[in-house]
Structure 1
Amino acid sequence: MNIVAGAEPFSADGGPVGFVVSHGFTGNPASVRGWAEHLAGAGFTVRAPRLPGHGTTWQDANTTTWHDWYGEIERAYDDLAARCDHVFAAGLSMGGTLVTRLAEQRQVAGLVLVNPAFATERVDAKLAKYIAWAVKSRPAIAGDIKKPGVVESAYSRTPVPAFVSLQELWAVTRADLGLLTCPVTLFRSIDDHVVEPLSGKLLIENATATTVSETLLTNSFHVATMDNDAQAIFDGTVAFANDALGR
């Protein structure tokens, strides 16, 4: 298996507070590396895994399901939980969905979500499960970045069977949003050409056992962790964790 240059997982051992950081669908750790490095620089112990089927070829993604992706996030969490007193989780797009699922199932100190996905209004998405046996890929959804000259290292095609599994992840995660008890901070781009406002609305309306604070990003598209508002996300994540810990 040949891993794309820059798609390697990121790991840094720091203090007694950990962060799991997850990239999104068809992406790889490169899209959240700056975020993870900033957290490591702030003294956190950080794990940003490469999800199975990602960072290689889109065909590889079609051999995996959301259970494989979530299993990798759980392994990263278990690693941190064995080392740290508190573990936070952060994610971009599908990564946000995965860490939300983690917080529904495990003891997470807080969630930081950047343009997380929980549903879509696109009609063609509803057809995916009916065509996946014959149509293995569709045009790419990656690379939605406003900042000139910044390119996301992601797949040039969207793997359809894997996308069908992603929709299953959305459904199970949505159903359990009421289980969230940790504090949640949501960074949402006003101009996002991948995830509609519906996802943020579903999170805020259904995470009834906790508080969701929303920050609107006015100068970034979907991959905001690589875009003009990236530093605000990085600094906001550190401030959120410190506030949640009362320090």
Structure 2
Amino acid sequence: MEDFIPLLRNQIEDEILTVRRLVPVEETYTVMKEAEPFYFPGNEIGVLVQHGFTGTTHSVRELGQYLAACGFTVYGPRLKGHGTHYKEMETTSYQDWVASAEAGYMMLQEKCSQIFVVGLSMGGTLALHLAHRYPETKGMVLINAALEIPDMEQVTDWEEPRFLEAIGSDIKADGVQELSYEKVPLQSFKEIVKLMALTKEKVPAVSCPAKILVSKEDHVVPPSNSQFIYDDLSSSDKKLIELEDSYHVATLDNDKDRIQRETEEFIRRLT
């Protein structure tokens, strides 16, 4: 009997491990500090400010605060799977990110008579999607918007590794760090490539006024993306502006004050 008890214990432990492998435990993740969504109530002019791929609202919060100080109603959503842990991001799709953006747009629609969309990197991709889906969009400001990134497209056929090194914090200014993931799920790269390809096809059908801000030097999104957007937009009111002193995360970089002023000027001119 004494010999049987250890064998029984081992058998039970093996069965428990088998069940755990077959039925994955759902992990819960807390939102990072400064990665929370932000909302600043203001006037009838609504501005949706969207962060980028693997990033957080931290990268666009200062821009949002500036626009709120101008009197606008500002909302910065946290895209699903962002601002928690890269393992959670792995479980989300580009449709989830689109849904987060659309939910933010609809929230502002309930409170405001005019909506502007602003986006950094993939946030710019989502802004293009929203301008296409909602033609009544008053205008859009795109900051290093992403439609085609060859380095990402190269990994779409890979099956491993599960996680790759991060792409965040491409910032020229000394001592400035973006709050983002330290690793990126391979599956998430595949998802953003799908989103960019689908959005690229929609660009010629977008006709709302646009201000396109592009860093002269960007180590994440080739600056040619912004030129393509400018050339292909149907908008009669569009402007392409080069940022001389910033890398990819320009909203936290040396040109952040200019971005804030350019965005305010654009919104005021159209309202």
TM superposition score category, shorter chain reference: over 0.9
1:41 alignment partner, one of 43, 66, 69: 69
1:120 & 1:48 partners in 2: Cα distance? Answer: 25
**Alpha-carbon shift at residue 150 of structure 1 (Å):** 0.8
Corresponding position of 1:128: 155
2:231 & 2:180 partners in 1: Cα distance? Answer: 31
Q: Secondary structure at the match of 2:251?
A: helix
Counterpart contact for 2:209–2:235, Cα < 8 Å:
no
Between the aligned residues of both structures, percent identity stands at 36
TM-score normalised to structure 2 length: 0.87
1:197 & 1:5 partners in 2: Cα distance? Answer: 31
1:229 & 1:127 partners in 2: Cα distance? Answer: 31
Corresponding position of 1:146: 172
Which residues of 2 match residues 179-198 of structure 1 at below 5 A? 179-198=205-224
Corresponding position of 1:173: 199
Counterpart contact for 1:150–1:226, Cα < 8 Å:
yes
The unaligned stretches of length 5 or more in structure 2 are: 1-28
**Alpha-carbon shift at residue 209 of structure 1 (Å):** 4.0
Counterpart contact for 2:42–2:73, Cα < 8 Å:
yes
Q: Deviations over 1:33-83 (max 9, x none)?
A: 000011111000011010001001111111111110111111111111111
Aligned residue type for 1:167: V
1:210 & 1:7 partners in 2: Cα distance? Answer: 36
Higher radius of gyration, 1 or 2: 2
Q: Secondary structure at the match of 1:129?
A: coil
Corresponding position of 2:33: 5
Residue 239 of structure 2 corresponds to residue 213 of structure 1: yes
**Alpha-carbon shift at residue 208 of structure 1 (Å):** 2.7
Which residues of 2 match residues 44-83 of structure 1 at below 5 A? 44-83=72-111
**Alpha-carbon shift at residue 130 of structure 1 (Å):** 1.7
TM-score normalised to structure 1 length: 0.95
**Alpha-carbon shift at residue 233 of structure 1 (Å):** 0.4
1:126 & 1:233 partners in 2: Cα distance? Answer: 29
**Alpha-carbon shift at residue 91 of structure 1 (Å):** 0.4
1:66 & 1:203 partners in 2: Cα distance? Answer: 20
**Alpha-carbon shift at residue 201 of structure 1 (Å):** 2.2
2:188 & 2:76 partners in 1: Cα distance? Answer: 21
Alpha-carbon RMSD across the aligned residues, in angstroms, is 1.1
